[in-house]
Amino acid sequence: MSWVKRLQTTWKSWTTKLVNEPRWVQVYQSSDEYMITIQKLKLEDAEIPVMVFNQRDSSYNAFGYIYINVPSEFRVEAEKIVNSENE
**Topology of the domain comprising 22-83:** Alpha-Beta Plaits (3.30.70)
Q: Which amino acid is at 38?
A: I
Name the pTM for this structure: 0.70
Alpha helix stretches (DSSP H) within 21-74? 33-45
> What is the structure's pLDDT at 23?
87
Under 8 Å between Cβ of 31 and 65: yes
pLDDT tens for the chain, residues 1 to 87: 576 677 667 666 655 555 556 688 999 999 999 999 999 999 999 999 999 998 887 777 678 899 999 999 999 999 999 998 765
* Residue ranges covered by each domain of the chain: 22-83
